[in-house]
Structure 1
Amino acid sequence: MGLHKILKIVAFALAIIGAIVALIIIAGDEDTALSMSGNMLLIAYAVLGIVILLVLLFVIKGLFAGDIKKTLMTVGAFAVVIIISYVISSGSDLNLQPFNDKGLGITEAISKNVGAGLNAFYILAVLAIGSMLLGGVKKLFNK
C-alpha cells in the first residue's frame, strides 16, 4: 500500500471523526458543547501536528533527492534577505509609550523584529512579482 493511499485513509478517518464531533457539539446541550469543543481542539492540534510532521518529512526527503547545491543557494539567498531586512529596520521609529501604557510590553527589540519581518515580506513580494513579470515578458518576446 502506497503512502498516498495511507494518507488518504488517515485524512478520511480524521474527517469522519471531526464531523461526528461537530454534530455532537451542535446537537448537545451547553455543557456537552463546551466539553466537546475542547475535544475538537485536541483533534485540530493532532491534525496540525500530523501535517507539520509530514511536511517536514517530505521537505527533508526532497532535499536529499534533489540538487543540494541549488537548495543551499536558495536558502542562502533567503537568509541574506532576512539579514538585510533586520539590518535596515530601526525599531525606534515608533512611539512605544501608548502601547506600554496599555500593558502590552512592546520593547524596541520587538519593534525591530516586526519591522524586519515587514521589510522581508516587502522585499520577497517585490522579487516574486518581478520574477513573474520578467517571465511573462520573456514569453512574449520568445513567441
Structure 2
Amino acid sequence: MNKIIKIVLIVIGLIAAFLWFSLPSQDDPDAINSGAMNFMFVIMYILLAIAVVAALFFGLAKLFTTPGSIKKALFALGGLAIIVAISYGLSSTEEAEAVVKVFEDRTSSDLKTTVGTVKNIGMGLNVFFILTVIAVLLMVLPGLKKMFVK
C-alpha cells in the first residue's frame, strides 16, 4: 500500500510540474481561463478532499478505539462552548449598535449590517484572543516551572 501511495504521489507531482510549465505568461489577459490552471485547481481540490477524509477517518478511528478519549474530547468541546459563551457575553450590544450606526452613515444602502452580525464578529474576536492567551500560557508556564522548580 505504501508503494502505491508513493507512486501516485510521484505521478501527481509530475503532472503538476508539467502543468506548471504549461501555464501561460502573466501578461496574457486570458490566463485565468487556461486549461492548465483549471486542471491544477482540480488536482488541488482532489488532494484537499483526500486530506480531509483521511484526517477525519483516522481522527475518528483513534477517538473511538482509545479508551477515555471520548471523555477527553467531550471535556474539550465543553470548554470550547464555555469560552464561546463567555465571549458572546463580553461582546457588548451597545458597542455593536454604535458600530452599526457609524457603518450605515458611511456606506451605501446596499450593505446591510445588523447588531447581531457585529456582535458575532466581536464574539469571534474574543474567542480568538482567549484561545491565543491560553495557548501562550500553556507554552510559557511549563518552561517557567522548569526554570524555577528543580
TM-score w.r.t. structure 2 length?
0.76
| Counterpart amino acid of residue 119 in structure 1 | N
Say if 1:81 and 1:120, in contact at 8 Å, map to a contact too.
yes
Q: Distance in 2 between matches of 1:7 and 1:98?
A: 57
Task: Give, in angstroms, the shift of residue 32 of structure 1.
Answer: 7.4
Corresponding residue for residue 35 of structure 1: 34
Say if 1:99 and 1:106, in contact at 8 Å, map to a contact too.
no
| Counterpart amino acid of residue 126 in structure 1 | V
Task: Give, in angstroms, the shift of residue 142 of structure 1.
Answer: 3.3
Say if 1:99 and 1:105, in contact at 8 Å, map to a contact too.
no
Change in CA separation of 1:15 and 1:103 when aligned onto 2, cut-off 3 Å: farther
Pick the structure with greater CA Rg: 2
The percentage of counterpart residues that share the same residue type is 36
Corresponding residue for residue 48 of structure 2: 48
Say if 2:97 and 2:115, in contact at 8 Å, map to a contact too.
yes
Aligned residues: 140
Corresponding residue for residue 16 of structure 1: 14
Unpaired runs of 5+ residues, structure 2, are none
* Residues 81-133 of structure 1, C-alpha deviations (whole Å, 9 max, x = no match): 11221222133341221565173333222212211111000000111111222
Change in CA separation of 1:84 and 1:129 when aligned onto 2, cut-off 3 Å: same
SS where residue 63 of structure 2 aligns? helix
Over aligned residue pairs, what C-alpha RMSD do you find? Answer: 2.6
Q: Distance in 1 between matches of 2:106 and 2:5?
A: 46
Say if 2:24 and 2:31, in contact at 8 Å, map to a contact too.
no
| Counterpart amino acid of residue 80 in structure 1 | I
| More moved, 101-110 vs 112-121 | 101-110
Corresponding residue for residue 104 of structure 2: 97
Say if 1:96 and 1:107, in contact at 8 Å, map to a contact too.
no
Corresponding residue for residue 136 of structure 2: 129
| More moved, 14-23 vs 72-81 | 14-23
